[in-house]
A and B are shown apart, each in its own frame.
Chain A
């Protein structure tokens, strides 16, 4: 049963991919025919102009005609991404000015295409020509191409950041799509970085996109980050957050860090200004704000805790905004050849702005939804950015710093004896035949999505604070009129953790009857018994 459904899902996915690829092919044909039309016009115009006009006029007129055509033409076959072009911004017709260098021979510092594309931000005092040129020469690294990284990368590419690096080792899943706006139904199963490159190429082919198709590790972090000017932490775990912060401090890069869960988000600009370790005028790093990692059991992912799409979207957009502010105002300069410096010489005559670190809190369902709070400056005993720093390039690259151990890991909860648990397959044979009370301890929103016939909902979050007596009374009350179910209890939850706690608590309180839990929760039920059980 399970295998058949897998094959069905595979067929559906392949059909979707074929449909997507065909749609893509149709788009390419339209683009080709447009390009051919433009080529013809340019050719005719060139012939007309041959003679009386200065060469640069000809070039400008032709450049105006040769609008760039989206050239993201990578096709996916069997879900295997084709090689990603690192730069597909080659003009189709005559060059409209060298887009990679502001000091090119063209009459204007930006190309015709760039004036049009970035016009709406170019006319703002806060960006202007200098800001645009800074964006164009900037190299920005987005670590994590998920709920934060997708919107952040989209706005950075849209704004004309010259080089955009993308780091992620994950592949696209359907549950990502409600918030990870660069990915699509057609790219399910494909690497997130490749999926994002595909989208961003279509959005703005002037941007040089650099794919890094693996998660950052202590061994790779310094090498990758060193060739960028600013970093966005769009990851989802403390281990990566400490690693990115440490690497940014060692390399002198500003770090824009955000996070989101459920209906809330947090944003901080760290190591800003990016001074060397020991320089008290630099901005605090992640370790200054959080010197000790949180207990591993307090770390909740979006998969476990849930996330409202626009909430994480807002935070990713704010990260892009913060980065654009840092770059366009010339607060930090480009990385030099050894990737080390971020000195502030673009505003050499002005005193550097002192660090005024803040944390922006967003809570979608609170009023007011935004709150900005002042953070501390650098910690004088910080392990990363103080004069007493113990974290060095060598400790990172040698692998002697174990971020996973530092942050701790949770082991699966296993507090019951084997005879107190029952597997999903075994339960499927019993649950109709032997009378029992079926207690579902998930939250009501989970219970509403799907529940087993006859199940009683008693959320663990309500039980956890109650004395055992009160819990027994609750169960008695909920089972009134159902005496035919007997006194044996089976407890289920989503994954089989809370159900163990509930079994233990019921036993401790002295429940008269056998109490067991469903091993692996309703996920195991779906995997072993009922493939149609909602997978949320």
Chain B
């Protein structure tokens, strides 16, 4: 039990399209989050987003990242170079060394 609780899952997280401004102006982050939720279920992308809000975001304007319990409209989530909608969205179970990219859509032209 202790072992399971301590286990963490290493991930590569990247923010682009201006989202990096909310995360200390740093695009790439190597992080490790608990591999299981308190209820014992494996952590998924939804848990990663909560973890980022609790641990990594530096800007108090959290609504620029998360709205209504999911990423705000205009942000694409990419799981290993695929739209997360192809992978089960926030229910996708994280694997070690997954690369999760958060892209804010740009509008300038």
Residues in A lying within 8 Å of B, measured CB to CB? 144, 146-149, 233-238, 241, 258-262, 264-266, 289-295, 298-302, 305, 307, 312, 359, 361, 363, 366, 371-376, 461, 464-465
Contact = CB atoms under 8 A, between A and B. Distances in A.
B18 A261 contact: yes
Given A144-B109, A147-B109, A294-B72, A264 B59 contact: no
A235 B109 CA distance: 5
Interface string B13-42: 000111001000101000000000000000
A355 to B, nearest CB: 13
B1 interface: no
B107 A261 contact: yes
A302 B108 contact: yes
Contacts of B50: none
B86 A264 contact: no
A258 B18 contact: no
Contact of B60 (A148, A307, A464): A464
Contact of A147 (B16, B61, B104, B108): B108
A76 B101 CA distance: 49
Given A361-B16, A373-B101, 8 more contacts: A148-B109, A234-B109, A236-B108, A238-B107, A259-B109, A261-B106, A261-B107, A359-B76
B81 A373 contact: yes
Contact of A461 (B17, B21, B74, B108): B21
Nearest to A303: B108
B57 to A, nearest CB: 9
B82 A373 contact: yes
7 contacts: A147-B109, A238-B107, A241-B107, A264-B18, A293-B74, A295-B63, A359-B76
Contact of B82 (A291, A300, A374): A374
A405 to B, nearest CB: 15
A301 B18 CA distance: 12
The prevalent SS among residues of A at the interface is mixed
Given A261-B106, A302-B108, A371 B81 contact: yes
A236 B105 CA distance: 12
Nearest to A147: B109
B107 A300 contact: yes
Interface string B85-109: 1100000000000000101111111
A236 B27 contact: no
B48 interface: no
Nearest to B74: A294
A305 B59 CA distance: 18
Contacts, number: 111
Contacts of A299: 107
Contact of B27 (A234, A366, A372): A366
Nearest to A304: B108
Interface residues of B, number: 32
Given A293-B74, A295-B72, A464-B59, A376 B86 contact: yes
A289 to B, nearest CB: 7
Determine which residue in B58, B64, B76, B109 has the highest number of CB atoms from chain A within 10 A of its CB, and name it. Answer: B109
Nearest to B14: A366
Nearest to B73: A292
Contacts of A235: 109
B67 interface: yes
A305 B104 CA distance: 14
B82 to A, nearest CB: 4
Contacts of B27: 363, 366
Contacts of B108: 147, 236, 259-261, 300-302, 305, 307, 312
A464 B61 contact: yes
Contacts of B82: 373-374
Contact of A301 (B61, B103, B107): B107
Contacts of B25: 461
Contact of B64 (A146, A260, A298, A465): A298
B36 to A, nearest CB: 28
A148 B107 CA distance: 11
B106 A265 contact: yes
A264 B109 contact: no
Contacts of A292: 73-74
B73 A373 contact: no
B107 A259 contact: yes
Closest 6 pairs (CB-CB, A-B):
A294-B74, A292-B73, A261-B108, A259-B106, A302-B108, A236-B109
A108 B83 CA distance: 48
Contacts of B107: 236-238, 241, 259, 261, 299-301
A295 B105 contact: no
Contacts of B73: 290-295
A332 B81 CA distance: 28
A373 B83 contact: yes
Contacts of A307: 108
A291 B58 CA distance: 28
A376 B73 CA distance: 16
A284 to B, nearest CB: 10
A238 B108 CA distance: 9
Nearest to B103: A361
A295 B67 contact: yes
A146 B109 contact: yes
Nearest to B24: A465
